[in-house]
Amino acid sequence: MKIRKVPETHIEGFKDLSINGETFEYLSPKNVYLPMQFPSPLKELKSVGDKVLMGEAVLQREGRFAIPVLSPVSGTIKGVVKRWHHSNKMMNMLEIENDFKETVVDDFKNLDPDKMDRHELVELMKSSGMVGMGGAGFPTYAKYETDKPVEEVIINFAECEPYITSDYTMVKLNPGLFIYGLKYLMKAAGTSKGVIAIKDKDINKPIIESLNKCLMDGMSIYLLHDVYPAGWEKYIVEKVTGRTYKTLPIEASAIVSNATTCVTFAKLLKYGLPPSEKYVTFVGDSIKTNGNVLCKFGTNVTELLNIFGGLEENTDRSHTNFIAGGVMTGGAMFTEDFVTSPTLGAVIVLRDKLYDKVTPHCLGCGTCALHCPVHLSPYEIKRAMKTGNIEMVKELEVNRCIQCGLCSYVCPSRIDLTTSIQMAKELVRRMG
């Protein structure tokens, strides 16, 4: 078999902007909003006017990986309203009015993870509706509910996006909880080996030193090269274990979980706190203060923006981009009036200048293909889309795109290849 190496591309980082910025907590929003149609239509478990506790199931994700969606606050179901989701889609959301009492359901009280077996820990992941907080939002239990042997749990602490420091902040402020979480993720996986995969770069040195001091038996730190996309699961698994896989890490006897997910599991086990909060990075040249805020899932971004002092004076909104998620993998929003979720890592507000308009003529340089980690030909896919040649789009294997955004980043003509490829991928998916 011919094995092609993943190209290792270094990209410029801007993490110092938020690492050296402010850290806030905003855990008492007046209302929270939970999507009722994402990633697919959810079943309503509560009616308007019902009282709910924090951690009570209010919606149900159905299908193969069914999990409940829990209320992040205690309060009352106020209604169903249309709101913007950070995938740039307007959708129905369940509005819950906070009673500010933070009354938590009994289900997660007095847990003793030392007395729980592997299956009970996985069941807890399921009943608490835990999802991966690195971006994909895949139900956590589905990774750990396996009868295949697991060699190691790998914590993905690469946080590849150049502006985002939400995982960094969560772990920096909770190193003990992070290690505690890893201990029980290892137990849930039935392995005695846990590896923290983090990029080897100056900005990470203090956190690496701090974690090194509290590692427990069977745990180690793996230093990744400072390349993009080092946070891609396939890349991490191959680097850490030397093994490869086709579809899922478990084929290579590994389970990969995100760093914030690990701390969230620890908070559930240790404090009985249901998954309900995460750090979101607010950063960019148009925000008065840069930094991170610990907030409830479903909080209005406009409220959070105010905590950071709002936008800079004289911000020209027609030349300002609100990016939900990272600059590489996120998307420009039509509005800042959207809500947070377990998978939103950042809100980035940048003036147009970073998107300097260059005449978008393809130079035929091949740089996009050279840097594509899965060895696609981005420009050819874009051209096939433009001419409506869907058969060609399929032949070019657009379905293998991991939507890393690197092709757009490296293109000297600043051609937005990623959006075209996302559209092509969605089109091919819909066509079955």
- Give me the residues that bind ligand SF4 (CB under 6 A), please: 362-368, 372-374, 376, 378-379, 401-407, 411-413, 415, 417-418, 421
The SS3 call for residue 367 is helix
CB of 4 to ligand SF4, least distance (A): 13
CA distance 91 to 94: 10
CB of 426 to ligand SF4, least distance (A): 13
- Residue closer to ligand SF4 by CB (options 193, 375) is 375
Burial track 148-180 (b if 16+ CB lie within 10 A, e otherwise): eebbbbbbbbbbbbbbbbbbbbbbbebbebbbb
- Residue closer to ligand SF4 by CB (options 269, 410) is 410
- Residue closer to ligand SF4 by CB (options 192, 399) is 399
- Residue closer to ligand SF4 by CB (options 392, 402) is 402
How many beta carbons lie within 10 A of that of residue 48, not counting itself? Answer: 12
Tokens of 373: 């980690």
The SS3 call for residue 309 is coil
CA distance 211 to 288: 32
How many beta carbons lie within 10 A of that of residue 416, not counting itself? Answer: 15
Label residue 380 exposed, middle or buried (CB < 10 Å: 0-12, 13-18, 19+): middle
- Residue closer to ligand SF4 by CB (options 93, 372) is 372
CB of 166 to ligand SF4, least distance (A): 22
How many beta carbons lie within 10 A of that of residue 309, not counting itself? Answer: 13
Strand partners, 320: 351
CB of 70 to ligand SF4, least distance (A): 33
CA distance 104 to 277: 14
**Residue found by looking up tokens 């392995």 in the block:** 191
CB of 416 to ligand SF4, least distance (A): 10
CA distance 5 to 22: 39
- Residue closer to ligand SF4 by CB (options 79, 366) is 366
Label residue 218 exposed, middle or buried (CB < 10 Å: 0-12, 13-18, 19+): middle
CA distance 34 to 40: 13
CB of 181 to ligand SF4, least distance (A): 30
- Residue closer to ligand SF4 by CB (options 364, 388) is 364
CB of 356 to ligand SF4, least distance (A): 15
Which residues are CB-neighbours of 331 under 8 A, at least 6 positions away?
Answer: 86, 87, 88, 323, 324, 325
CB of 73 to ligand SF4, least distance (A): 36
CB of 5 to ligand SF4, least distance (A): 15
- Residue closer to ligand SF4 by CB (options 293, 421) is 421
**Residue found by looking up tokens 């030397």 in the block:** 242
- Residue closer to ligand SF4 by CB (options 22, 380) is 380
